[in-house]
Amino acid sequence: MPQLYELTACELSQKLDRREVSSLEITEAVLVRIAQVEPKVGAFLTLTPDVARNQAIEADKRIAAGKRIGPLDGIPISIKDNMCTKGIRTTCASKILDNFIPPYDGTAVIRMRDAGTVTLGKTNMDEFAMGSSTENSAYGPSKNPWDVNRVPGGSSGGSASTVAAGEAIAALGSDTGGSIRQPAAFCGIVGLKPTYGLVSRYGLVAYASSLDQIGPLTHTVEDSALLLNVIAGHDPMDSTSLKVEKKDYTQACRDEVKGLRIGVPKEFFGEGVDKNVSSLVHKAINQLCDKGAIAEECSLPSIDYCLAAYYIIAPAEASSNLARFDGVKYGHRTKELAGHIGLMEKTRDEGFGAEVKQRIMIGTYALSAGYYDAYYKRAQQVRTLIRRDFDTAFEKYDVLITPTSPTVAFKVGEKTDDPLAMKLSDICTLPVNMAGIPGMSLPCGFHDGMPVGLQILAKPFGEETIFRAAYAYEQSNPWRYARAVL
């Protein structure tokens, strides 16, 4: 008999509807689980048990009165610590925001709260979302629940860990170059990066504004659809938020893929991709074909230039976005005052970690006079080529399927001294952000005792097609029932 913390949001929602369990009982079960395993996992930066209990009590009152808001009412979740939460510390895992308490909630946070969810706390991450392992956190790394000697991925490693470890039923993360999908793959759960502009970024502390997107981390595809139903939609507070028709993504979760056209881009299966990972992804594609889908190899030639272009564009935008952290209005301020310039320099030196400093310097250089055209402008031109490659592919295919990560989760400390190897762990996910298209990672098996992720991509606002393909695959396999043992 599974424990409450092991159940999915859909399963718990049904139990709440049938009055078999209360939201407070679910919340207490999860809080007990957190107390048991958090010392091993290190997924949270801030826990809010009192907030969670009060919200659960309110949810139970609504349920008792027959006024349940929706399927997520009373479900405990965690929130990545780069989303503003009114009255709750928001650090971005950086010393420069160590004691920052926002005066407002981000839009995604508001929408989840208005849906009745229970907030357990804020999760660990790579500092300012810059990293692929959660080892860049100023507060220490999170661990992978499947093997605490390995990383959970990044930058949303804490959010992914909470779901995989039973410390939350679902979580919100953000994805700038794979920061939802790669941790989902490493931790054996489902992670969705929506189309750029589908989910409001208001209240998300910016890393690279043209790449960042908020999305859900869950145990199952249907749970992912439930969360996207809540957070998707236009927001006038975000100038990049798009006016699109409101949809019920759970309607796309049906076991029917007959005639679905699948493209298999050969560039995602080349050098650096573990043969065991490739084998499991191809096996998954074959299973979809057994259900009536049609797959064939295709090519996205510009993908080979994506990594270089991304690591010009993202640091350039970070250089601009992080200029606001100067020790004047909020956040850390050095005690060694030496005039305005000295204050700013010393504050930033004390507050930012090594990875953040490196990316700020790279970005500043790429944007500087005499180098802008050679680096930033050219990288944006490459980005256009990448987008065109995807557009061409989606004229022929409904979805593209690739590995999410070239390997399974690596060991803590294994790549910290090799920044190139660390960045190469995102080669399968970066192109999705560069093109602004949606992508989902879901489990497709295990290698070396660790989960392997399958990535499904679709054209802009093609989330329904992704849910259709992912749900059909998920129904034919046992991975959605797999739980880490801690």
- Which tokens in the block code for residue 210? 């043209």
Residue 204 to residue 321: CA distance in whole angstroms:
12
Please work out, in degrees rounded to the nearest 5, the angle formed at the alpha carbon of residue 306 by the alpha carbons of 303 and 311: 170
The SS3 call for residue 186 is helix
Residue 4 to residue 124: CA distance in whole angstroms:
24
Selecting among 133, 179, 224, 441, the annotated active-site residue is 179
Q: Which of 36, 39, 16, 41 is nearest to 26 (CA)?
A: 16
Residue 473 to residue 182: CA distance in whole angstroms:
19
Residue type, 78: S
Whether the CB-CB separation of 115 and 39 falls below 8 Å is answered with no
Residue 124 to residue 162: CA distance in whole angstroms:
10
Selecting among 22, 23, 80, 459, the annotated active-site residue is 80
CB atoms within 10 A of CB 464: 17
Whether the CB-CB separation of 100 and 56 falls below 8 Å is answered with no
Per the annotation, the verdict on 241 as an active-site residue is no
Per the annotation, the verdict on 155 as an active-site residue is yes
Selecting among 22, 78, 142, 155, the annotated active-site residue is 155
385 alpha carbon, distance to own chain's centre: 25
Catalytic residues: 80, 155, 179
